[in-house]
Amino acid sequence: MQEKEFDLLKEPWIKVSTRSLEQKEVSLMDAMLHAQEYVGLAGETPTQDAALLRVLLAAALTIFYRYDENGNEDEISEENDSDDETVLERWKKYWERGAFPETAVRKYFQRYSERFWLFHPETPFWQVNDLSYGTEYGVECLVGNLKESNNKATRHHFSMTEGDRLERISYAEAARWIIHLNAYGVNVKTDKKLPGPNLPVGVGRLGQLGMVMVNGDDLFRIIMLNLCPLKDNADIWGLPRPVWEQEIHLEQGREIAPPDNLPELYTIQSRRIQLDRKDGWVVGYRAIGGDFYSTEDDFNEPMTLWKEQKVDKKSERVFHIPRIHNPSVQVWEEFHSLMSERSAGHIPGIVEWIRTLKKTKTFVSERLITFKMIGIVYGDQMKYTYGDSIHNTLTMSSDLLMDLGEEWISVITDEVEKCQNIASKAIGHFSSSVCKLFGGGTNYIKAMLVQNYYFHINIAFREWLSGIEPLQGEREKKIEQWEQKSYYYAKGVVEEFIHMRNMNIYVHKEDEGRILTIPQALNMYLGELRKIYPKAAQLHGKESQ
């Protein structure tokens, strides 16, 4: 890389959506200075946008810690006796200003301008210059939405040039995908012949998380709402150290200490990468595993769901690991991991941050707040290939983040668990009875019925959740409204299953000393529903008379 090419601060490469819903590419400087003019990021995949957002957050938080709302240098640090009040006061001033201070943005990026060239003789962005080891890949492996191996990429991409393979992509697109590769890169094997400790690094850092973020009306608000400038919402972070302020490391599989600041955490180099360019295009790259550290109890990471894990079966000691998004789990089923310590053991830092803003009245949001869940499903168990991305939203009253919302959180968590009990237990028992009578696969029938039940309640539950207003009370009425709907759908999917298959109600079989029939299986199922929703069952019984 003897010649500098493609200045990321000036050249357009970040995809954004305008208020007229048009997509355009802008430079990194433009994205920061005019963030308030864009609705949000609009890259090729939700995971690419998530990875890019973390880069923008690293830059924004660094600027926030070093410059006040007018662009004057005023570092937030222990040396300057800064505290949580200092941070909240500055955040409020930034928020009310509605845009990042231009003077601060320009000063900061000018200071590190040499680190933002995609190709550079010494410090290429997000790369290692003259990477002499690692695996060589075709450019199709850089493009995350191809989802295929090195030898199978076909006509799925607009940047393709000739033949059946993707031959090249633009510098702008390569800049986006190199950040995605670092964040979500598949497993790579370490080479014992190469320098370094040769420790396995796993997939990219974001690929190890169940990422959660807050949505906003424009890119500036999205960045500010996800800024999390307080550690544990009480203390200031260590001094910002994003990757472009650090020396470049060459070792593969380097285990590092957990970062004490978010810009460093958000720009961790999970891969050592070097792009290969030819005639103004990127035609391939070389890569090997880079930096990593354990995700266990890594509560400095604010943008993930968590779950408890026992050390072993005999031990009572537990630790927390990120809760990876599961495509078979409805987004509202993740409510407990998002909001309830009772179920998740630890609430995401981003939720606690928004709660802090609400409780201190630093910002008054709209009635509703929307959380985004973003993740990736790898194509195989060993995570050597890409799969589909996950992108879901969950909208709720922002008042649920207040003290008055805590009782509601318990109620909603209970209602989620009731729905899960219907799916896992009640429908499971009915499916088992049907299979005993007629044969067939219990799992197949159960999966079909659960899918139908969730299909009916998915939108209904989300609408019910967004309609809850803790400050207005009416808790019992709201609970009753939902349980009637859930009971109705749960009863209906099984009755429809029996009716559509014209099941012979006279078929019977002895089972554990009793005669099993379809009417009996249905009555047992309805009995389980009555235990879950006694009031709804009673009301439905009266209406049926």
Encode 466-506 in three state secondary structure: HCCCHHHCCHHHHHHHHHHHHHHHHHHHHHHHHHHCCCCCC
Give the pLDDT band (50/70/90) at residue 163: very low
Give the pLDDT band (50/70/90) at residue 157: very low
Share above pLDDT 90 across residues of the chain, in percent, rounded to a whole number: 68
Mean of pLDDT values over 99-109: 98
The mean predicted confidence, pLDDT, of the chain is 89
CB atoms within 10 A of CB 99: 16
Give the pLDDT band (50/70/90) at residue 130: confident
Amino acid at residue number 346: H
Digit-coded pLDDT (tens) for 326-368: 998 999 999 999 998 776 678 999 999 999 998 888 877 677 8
Mean of pLDDT values over 297-323: 88
Which one has a higher pLDDT value, 384 or 235? 235
Give the pLDDT band (50/70/90) at residue 250: confident
Give the pLDDT band (50/70/90) at residue 146: low
Give the pLDDT band (50/70/90) at residue 41: very high
CA pair distance 108, 497, nearest whole angstrom: 64
* Tokens 């999205």 sit on residue: 222
Q: How high is the pLDDT of residue 513? A: 66
Between the CA of residue 64 and those of 94, 219, 239, 349, 352, what are the distances in Å? 9, 16, 11, 19, 20
Q: How high is the pLDDT of residue 367? A: 79
Mean of pLDDT values over 91-117: 97
Going by the DSSP 8-state scheme, the letter that residue 514 receives in this structure is E
Going by the DSSP 8-state scheme, the letter that residue 336 receives in this structure is H
The full set of domain ranges for the chain reads: 5-128+180-249+256-269, 306-402, 405-544
In the predicted model, is pLDDT for residue 195 greater than 70?
A: no
In the predicted model, is pLDDT for residue 499 greater than 80?
A: yes
Q: How high is the pLDDT of residue 517? A: 87
* Tokens 């409020």 sit on residue: 92
In the predicted model, is pLDDT for residue 510 greater than 80?
A: no
The CATH code belonging to domain 405-544 is 1.10.132.100
Phi, psi dihedrals of residue 318, rounded to the nearest 5°: -120, 155
273 close to 286: Cβ distance less than 8 angstroms: yes
By three-state DSSP, how is residue 254 classified?
Answer: strand
CA pair distance 37, 24, nearest whole angstrom: 12
CA pair distance 460, 456, nearest whole angstrom: 7
* Tokens 């959660």 sit on residue: 212
Q: How high is the pLDDT of residue 391? A: 95
368 strand-pairing partners: 397
Give the pLDDT band (50/70/90) at residue 158: very low
320 close to 345: Cβ distance less than 8 angstroms: yes
In 63-167, where do the E strands start and end? 117-119, 135-138
